[in-house]
Amino acid sequence: MKILLCNVSKKYETSSHDYVGLFYLAGALEEAGFEPLVFHGKPEHLLEQVKQNEPVAVGFSCDFDNVQLIEALSKKIKADWNIPIIVGGPQSIGLKQKFLEDSQADFILRGEGEVSLPLLLKAVLKEDGDLSEINGLAMIKDGIFTETSPEIIANLDALPLPAYHASLQTDHSYGKLIFTGRGCPYQCAYCAPSPGKQQVRLRSIPLVLEEIKLNLQNNPDLNYIIIMDDAFTLNRERIEEFCLGMTEIRKDRDLVWYCECHVGRIKNWMDILPTMIAAGLIRLQIGIESGDQQVIDAYNKHVKIDDIIEFVSYAADCGLTQIATNFIVGGPEETPGATAALIETLMDRAPGVIDIITGFLRAYPGTEILNNPKKFNLQLHDQSGRFSGDDYPFVTPTEKSQDQVMKDRQELNKVIRQSMQKKIKNHELKQQAVMKQFKAALTYGIRSRWFEEIAANPRAYEYYYVLYLNEGQAFDPSLDFSSDYPQRTFELWRTMTFTEGFPKLDGMALSPLEYELLLRCAGKRSLAEIEAELFSIFGDPYKNQAEFHGKLVDILYQFNFKYWLTHFVI
């Protein structure tokens, strides 16, 4: 019996995602004797897959963004094929009788479905089992909406591994996403409290490593894995065991990884970071959300701003490539300027490393934000979630309009970008940090905002790209004119203008000496040779060659500062 499991989205290029949860479900269905098929893609392609594969049931993964898509698709599938339709996923805890009526779906299945979904399908398709005994099942029976408590799986090691071979996307390779556990001990007010969220359950590290090795075997191009746990760094000994296994794996394969981290927990033993970095940790996500401690406390985050600053500074000093974080806009009213000030501080402590984004506050089902907005002095503009999107706020402080909150986010993003651009322009980034961003982007496909900002600055990008390829070096006080060969980082004909009657580059008018020097920086002659030639042309106004030499060095540093020049040594 073919069972089609679906994740549909119009908003994102879904071909780049694993949707690993569906493949864990597929593994459980296969073990139970079904033939699972997994579709992830755009809704306009789904109906064709139903037509081609003729499944006997369809299951949808429902999240905050695709509720309305699923309603429409479910209704269409029910009308054309009249097969059972089951809706699960993180948004399922917010779905009620009206959703079943509007979508004509048969069931809502809440909680962890690896146990309950096979039982439901056996009961519906094989008349084997009692629906009333299936955990997490919501349905309309005899006109009455009924629901049972969700399924929470205690022993995660008993679950089969993801069945990636069930994918209908044959041109896509899998294995990037992995879970080492489920649940989180924290109860942040804005975080969707999916069933079992507060019950931390962990897989054995040997089994996790076995899954990673299998994914590497099946995907020769896999070089980056994302640990999806809400709180991977809860236990030091477990992290050490994982890092030991990853170190062994990395002896045969260049593999890096990402995880999330709660600063309030790891701050007591953050000296584990060098071990994690040595084992391939390349990107670490931490939650901050606000620069106002009172707002952080209102969110129930259990973390102090001073600890965040200390942790970010330490992680950057340890050589971590990327520290990712998010600030929420549209939450409880903050002290004016508090978040912008914290962003500036983090930028100063970890330039080229701290990777900051912003997002609007969402009112997920089951959160305190949705259930009690007055507690946070918030107002909800779209409780159904039917109009909500990341491009416009639907939760705002009581005193602010949606347009004001949107402007707040624009201003905060302006602070982030201007701070980054200033540090790039003024050469405030350590070369090692920039080289790591280039390697993350060009080797592993992990593009941080720093890389994007550098890429948006043609001179800076060309300059750092030369350094990354080891085809040139930055200037330093130990210049050896006899062996250093200066080289431009761009093509003169593309960039130099003479429309005003004199040479001009990037808005800067060049003196005859500067112009002639730049012409000769083609990587073909040493600085000593260039200096001797230029002194014979421009040396008369100077007391001696030593004074001219000092002027030449000043110009070279100016060129280097503008990202016009690198050098190599012969």
**How confident is the model over 225-259, as pLDDT tens digits?**
999 998 899 999 999 999 999 999 999 999 999 99
pLDDT value of residue 19: 82
Task: Name the more confident of 478 and 442.
Answer: 442
What is the DSSP secondary structure assignment for residue 365, as one 8-state letter? T
pLDDT value of residue 385: 58
Max avg pLDDT among 62-76, 250-264, 487-501: 250-264
pLDDT digits (tens, 9 = 90+) for 272-292: 999 999 999 999 999 999 999
pLDDT value of residue 172: 83
Does the structure show a pLDDT above 90 at 25? yes
Torsion angle (degrees, nearest 10) of CA 480, 481, 487, 489: 60
Distance CA 269, CA 432 (A): 26
CATH topology of domain 175-365+414-456: TIM Barrel (3.20.20)
Query: Taking the model in full, what pTM does it have?
Result: 0.91
From the options 3.20.20.140, 3.40.190.10, 3.40.50.280, 3.30.1360.70, give the CATH code of 2-147.
Answer: 3.40.50.280
Domain ranges of the chain: 2-147, 175-365+414-456, 484-569
pLDDT value of residue 18: 74
Half-sphere exposure of 54 (CA within 13 A, CB side): 1
Distance CA 166, CA 250 (A): 28
Distance CA 403, CA 111 (A): 36
Q: What is the mean pLDDT of residues 36-49?
A: 92
Distance CA 85, CA 72 (A): 12
Does the structure show a pLDDT above 70 at 386? no
User: In DSSP terms, which residues pair with 322 in a beta bridge?
Assistant: 283
pLDDT value of residue 15: 45
Closest listed residue to residue 172, CA positions, set 225, 221, 227: 221
Does the structure show a pLDDT above 60 at 35? yes
DSSP H helices in 445-526: 449-455, 458-468, 492-495, 512-520
pLDDT value of residue 388: 57
Closest listed residue to residue 553, CA positions, set 500, 499, 476, 487: 476
Where does the pLDDT of residue 521 fall: very low under 50, low under 70, confident under 90, or very high at 90 and above? very high
pLDDT value of residue 14: 45
Q: What is the mean pLDDT of residues 26-39?
A: 97
SS3 content of the chain, % helix, strand, coil (to 5): 45, 20, 35
pLDDT value of residue 42: 86
- How much is the mean pLDDT over the chain? 93
Where does the pLDDT of residue 569 fall: very low under 50, low under 70, confident under 90, or very high at 90 and above? confident
Does the structure show a pLDDT above 50 at 11? yes
Where does the pLDDT of residue 193 fall: very low under 50, low under 70, confident under 90, or very high at 90 and above? confident
pLDDT digits (tens, 9 = 90+) for 51-70: 999 999 999 999 878 888 99
